[in-house]
Amino acid sequence: MIGKLKGVIDEIGDDHVLVDVHGVCYVAFCSARTLSRIGSPGEAVTLVIETFVREDQLKLYGFISAEERGWFNLLQSVQGVGTRVALAILSTLTAGEIANAIALGDKTAVSRAPGVGPKVATRIVTELKNKVPAGLSMGDNEAISFRRDVGEGAAPAAVSDAISALSNLGYSRDQAAGAVAAALKAAGEGAESAVLIRLGLKELAN
For residues 70 and 131, membership in a common domain is answered with yes
Query: What pLDDT does 181 receive?
Result: 87
Closest C-alpha to 92, from 69, 70, 115: 115
- The verdict on 69 and 129 lying in the same domain is yes
Q: What share of the chain is helix, strand, coil (3-state, %, to 5)?
A: 50, 20, 30
Confirm if 58 and 85 have CB atoms less than 8 A apart.
Answer: no
Please tell me whether residues 123 and 71 are part of one structural domain.
yes
- Report the domain count for the chain: 3
Provide the CATH number for the domain around residue 106: 1.10.150.20
- Average pLDDT of the chain is 88
Residue 181: give its domain's CATH number: 1.10.8
For residues 59 and 22, state if they share a domain: yes
Q: Do 58 and 71 belong together in one domain?
A: no
> 187 and 159 in one domain?
yes
- Same domain? For 49 and 71 the reply is no
Domain that holds residue 129: 65-135
pTM (global) more than 0.85 = no
* pLDDT for res 203: 86
In a domain, 162, yes or no: yes
The per-residue pLDDT for 104 is 86
Pair 23, 56 in one domain: yes
26 shares a domain with 69: no
| Predicted local distance difference test score (pLDDT) of residue 137 | 43
pLDDT for position 140? 60
CA distance 179 to 56: 49
Q: 31-58, pLDDT tens digit by residue?
A: 999 999 999 999 999 999 999 988 778 8
Contacts of 54 (CB under 8 A, 6+ apart): none
* Residues 104 and 54 both lie in one domain: no
The ranges of the chain with pLDDT < 70 are 132-142
pLDDT of residue 138: 39
Is 69 part of a structural domain of the chain? yes
- Clarify whether residues 75 and 52 are in a common domain: no
Q: Which of these, 174, 204, 182, 203, lies nearest to 100 by C-alpha position?
A: 174
